Structure 1
Amino acid sequence: MIIDIERADAEQTAYWIIFSGDRIVAKKQQQALLKSSWRYLRFIHHYSDQVVHIGELDDAPCYSVDLGLEALPEDEYETVSLRSLFMSQNESVFSTVARAWQLILFRRTHRYCGKCGSAMQQVDWEMAMHCHSCHHRCYPRVSPCIIVSIRKGDKILLAQGKAQRERKMFSTLAGFVESGESLEQAVHREVFEEVGIKIKNLQYFSSQPWPFPHSLMMGFLAEHDEGDIEVDGHEILEAHWYDVNALPIVPPSMSIAGKLIDHTIQEIKGHK
């Protein structure tokens, strides 16, 4: 919720997730969340109306602040990308930052009513934007996505999309759920569209919010049924069956893709 930070305890130590554009403000050479009191963060004092309380982290309050596109005036700070911060932090920090970014993005994209065009205001008691002209109310968008790890005997299927090419990374298959589609239907469709195979023994694994930009990843495990790999050449550039002892660069274990890969590796090794 939005708070009146100037009336709050200015000396209380809190975590501050401060966004400049789509990057997070951090002290130079640290790549960690700022932990300070409001009193010492003078460069954000004129953004007091942009402070949103997003919960607790390590028993300390956590706030997000949106600087818009304004550059930092302080020499001791720099900005870091969301992905680099995620890769260097633990899971609790990951989930807190993910929530903060999705709320910031929601507020940026819902300043005006999509129904009548009037200015919208944030509701005090819940995360929603409300239009007082036509009473239209909006809530943060959540886009359901499936992600699946597929095994074939003692091998795992890993693919590389355009976004992963520069990082030389391979990962599990994933895609958005379409309207009128169940999660299971989405898995079968995406797998066939992207690599041309059919799967069986589909099992739910777990889920994870993913802030790029507002996805909810729902993970599955599956086995190869029939067909040979044939990539679409658009979303997927290449895909192969990999021996678990000779894997390419894969996502970190903190991500659901990494967890799916780790689980599949353990399943394969347990059956050898």
Structure 2
Amino acid sequence: MRFDVITLFPELFAPFQEAGINRRAYSGGLVKLKLWNPRDHAEGNYRRVDDRPFGGGPGMVMMAEPLLRCLNAVRADRVNAASDGDNAEDGEGHCAPVVLFSPIGEVLHHAAVERWAKSTGAILICGRYEGIDQRFIDSHVDLQISLGDFVLSGGEIAALALLDAVARLQPGVLNDEGSHQLDSFNPALDGLLDCPHYTRPEVWQGQPVPPPLLSGHHAQIERWRRDRSVEITARHRPDLIKHARAEGRLGTADEAALAAFQLRTTD
């Protein structure tokens, strides 16, 4: 898959491609990333990409024309790559979707990340300042994505979050192929939060590892982990418990763990 990122700060992405599991994804060609700066497509000596908003108000607004020129360059490059045998377009030859990171977008969640992980990629636009000229958004943006109900200085962090989440789901990126199957929010499992994890030493600052994890009894270990997952989800994200119950993903033992947890919290 290939992601093209339109950003005024391409240097923010360089360390990301060399860190941890991301390095395996990008150096191995599992995920291709190409960065584009709209200043390279702006006119004038100052390569201006922003201007004051009509109607007044604070801040600056990214101009539509440099963004469009940059987007056209991206699309042309993807078409050329596809003609050279690079799978940059989908099976019908359509251009990749254009994604803008924005507060009005759908909040990114696990199911969406899984869909992106199976896609051929996208063109990601990272806004800055007060935002982007709405005419460009109306004409050229296919989808808007948000990380949550807060505001960032730009879309770069949101783009990095999506890229990281997608990269780790590619086959061969994680050392343990089944690792992501136990991730929090995985609907293929149950959609609940993950259980706590422990490692050496067995006692740290007077706090021991829970005995079931040292028992060597696999069924007991799995039951302990499942109970803790149910409890943590009930405490921090009861909405996920409600959804899992509605989907029929909670068994009799899960309901017993929930009842015991609720009894303890009401005492």
- Please report the TM-score for the alignment, with normalisation by the length of structure 1: 0.22
Report which of the two structures shows the higher radius of gyration computed on alpha carbons.
Answer: 2
Q: Which has the higher helix share?
A: 2
